[in-house]
Amino acid sequence: MSQEKGFSLIELLIVIAIILIIAAIAIPRLLHSRMAANEAAAVSGIRAITTAENTYNATYPTLGYACSLPTLGPPASGQSASSTAADLLDSVISISRTKTGYTFNLSNCTGTPVSNYNSTAVPVSVGGTGQRAFCSTASGVIQYAEDGVAADCISGNNVLK
């Protein structure tokens, strides 16, 4: 009698089942890790905006803080930095306003010169690209909202430590 070599159907099904079990465990952890990385990048973006705003305020004291992200961004090619394009923030945040699954914005500019602002980072897809929204004001304190809504962040008291 000749004996055939290879795997039986049962052995192949067991291997496939083991691979599916490992994938079922690994994929949610991967997605959670990706959201955590996106949130860390959003906090970094808010810190960059806060630093850019403070530098802008010190450079242009008669204007105060900037009221739009493009104002903090790079000038057009061949142009030098000015009060309308201060070159203090990268173009990804200042022009496209979306980076690593978060949308960045400036709002609530008040006074002349501008004495206050709110910077926000909101997940593009709550529960997908991130869970929490982040914000900061002229005080420089970064706050967050667990539900991913910027309005809750501004009125909330969850301070990032």
Annotated domain spans of the chain = 9-155
Place of tokens 């990032």: 160
| pLDDT averaged over every residue in the chain | 90
Q: pLDDT band at residue 30, thresholds of 50, 70 and 90? A: confident
Q: What pTM did the predictor assign?
A: 0.82
Give the pLDDT confidence score for residue 2 in this predicted structure.
61
**Comparing C-alpha atoms, which of 138, 133, 126 is closest to residue 54?**
138
Spatial contact of 65 and 138, defined as CB atoms under 8 Å apart? yes
pLDDT band for 158, please (50, 70, 90 cuts).
confident
What confidence tens digit (pLDDT) does each residue in 55-107 have? 999 999 999 999 999 999 999 888 999 999 999 999 999 999 999 999 999 99
**Is 4's pLDDT higher than 60?**
yes
Per-residue pLDDT band for 150 (boundaries 50, 70, 90) equals: confident
User: Token pair for residue 33?
Assistant: 């890790």
Question: Residue 40 is inside which H or E element, if any?
Answer: helix 9-59
